[in-house]
Structure 1
Amino acid sequence: MAKTSYQIEQEFINDINSITGNDLKSWLKIIGETSLSKRNEILNWLKSEHNFRHQDASLLAGIYVNDGKPVYADSGDLLENQFNKKEHLRPLYDTLMEAILKRLPNTRIEAKKTYVSLNAKREYAAIGIKSKEIRLAMDLDGEPNGSDFVKQTGIGCMPRISHMIKLNQASQITDNLLDKMEKAYKRME
């Protein structure tokens, strides 16, 4: 299984001294002594002046502009944060995930900052947890005319995740809905 952004960032923080010769605190001080403040400026400076690999420079620049704190939280924390003041939607989310994983057991679930990504070879669906509903979006390539699906908005996922349905009760999790999920999943093949 691929590493999460959280795991990659934590490995970098743990190994930064052996990779670069300085610990995180030292690098934050070194960057602070420059006049650089924008992430991309810092990233390019680390690469050109200190021979950082792109990924390492990106991680360190991100941490610096995030007030010296890691950018990526544990995915469990990211998921729980999405239910802040929306706890009433947790049972619906759990029922939805159970149905999806029963139908498509190879699905990998990764909580992001603003949504939950469903992927196998690539992201094929996303779940946005809003105050009154769960938005389930998927890659349907313009297919669902005349249905409960609308153009995907407000989730923050990849543009190919084209359509969404707003869920507010478990009875909406039907075989027809899961068939559409399976169709989106199969579009990756």
Structure 2
Amino acid sequence: MTSDPFASLNVALQKSTGKSLEEWKSIAKGCDLNGHMQIVGWLKSEHGLGHGHANSIAHAAKETAAISIDDDVLVANMFAGPKAALRPIYDKIIAAAKGFGDDLELSPKKAYVSLRRSKQFAIAQPSTKDRFDLGLNLKGTEINQRLELSGSWNAMVSHRVRITAPAEVDEELIGWLKAAYDLA
């Protein structure tokens, strides 16, 4: 197995489009768009690429391939369709967590993303089309109106916060996330 995460992508792109990954990176860099999802959308609409290829090219062009291509696809699939409106909540949570330290690990699964340090400290999950759940390992922390015990929702975490809008990813919530990170 090659250590280059884009080697198989390059082969697939050559076969399906006739262009190499380097050519696609150049095209993406020349589109005058800055946001990752803007570039993905542009590659899909203007060049007819599928989401997986467009997403991978955008990461390669921006040199942001810290998460493997397969992980990106898992996250994209989590927010496909009716759960798409919840993606800004996820993005705010992950951006905050990345500021905690270089030892943050994101481990996407089919339905949620595990946030790990030396052990898992949080779960980020778009649960319904209207609600995002953030599970936290905060054993011993008292509950309140927002921070509830996880109960039967998920046994891998002790607490849960139900989130319905990006504005709810506030200082209080980030404080709980940081506390869980510190305990891991």
Normalized against structure 1, the TM-score is what? Answer: 0.54
Q: Name the Cα RMSD after superposition.
A: 2.3
Letter matched to residue 94 of structure 2: M
Give the match for residue 164 of structure 1. 160
Seen in structure 2, the aligned counterparts of structure 1 residues 155 and 94 have a Cα distance that, compared at 3 Å, is farther
* Mapped partners of 1:106, 1:79: distance in 2: 20
For the residue of structure 2 that corresponds to 1:140, the secondary structure is coil
* Mapped partners of 2:90, 2:152: distance in 1: 17
CA drift at 1:154: 7.2
Seen in structure 2, the aligned counterparts of structure 1 residues 104 and 144 have a Cα distance that, compared at 3 Å, is farther
Q: Which runs of 5+ in 2 are unaligned?
A: 6-68
Aligned equivalent of 1:107, options 104, 107, 116: 104
For the residue of structure 1 that corresponds to 2:172, the secondary structure is helix
* Mapped partners of 2:92, 2:152: distance in 1: 22
Instruction: After superposition, give the CA deviation of every residue in 1:93-138 in whole Å (9 maximum; x if it has no partner).
Output: 2122112212344311110112100001011100111221110111
Give the match for residue 91 of structure 1. 88
Larger radius of gyration: 1
Give the match for residue 20 of structure 1. none
Work out whether residues 104 and 182 of structure 1, in 8 Å CA contact, stay in contact via their aligned partners in 2: no
* Mapped partners of 2:105, 2:111: distance in 1: 17
| Correspondence 1:38-187 to 2 at 5 A | 74-85=70-81, 86-130=83-127, 131-152=129-150, 159-187=155-183
Aligned residues: 115
CA drift at 1:155: 6.1
Runs of 4+ aligned structure 1 residues displaced above 4 Å come to: 153-156
* Mapped partners of 1:154, 1:84: distance in 2: 26
Seen in structure 2, the aligned counterparts of structure 1 residues 141 and 168 have a Cα distance that, compared at 3 Å, is same
Work out whether residues 118 and 125 of structure 1, in 8 Å CA contact, stay in contact via their aligned partners in 2: yes
Seen in structure 2, the aligned counterparts of structure 1 residues 166 and 126 have a Cα distance that, compared at 3 Å, is same
Normalized against structure 2, the TM-score is what? Answer: 0.55
* Mapped partners of 1:116, 1:81: distance in 2: 12
Work out whether residues 89 and 169 of structure 2, in 8 Å CA contact, stay in contact via their aligned partners in 1: no
For the residue of structure 2 that corresponds to 1:118, the secondary structure is strand
* Mapped partners of 1:155, 1:99: distance in 2: 24
Q: Which runs of 5+ in 1 are unaligned?
A: 1-6, 8-72
For the residue of structure 2 that corresponds to 1:74, the secondary structure is helix
Moved more, 81-90 or 94-103: 94-103
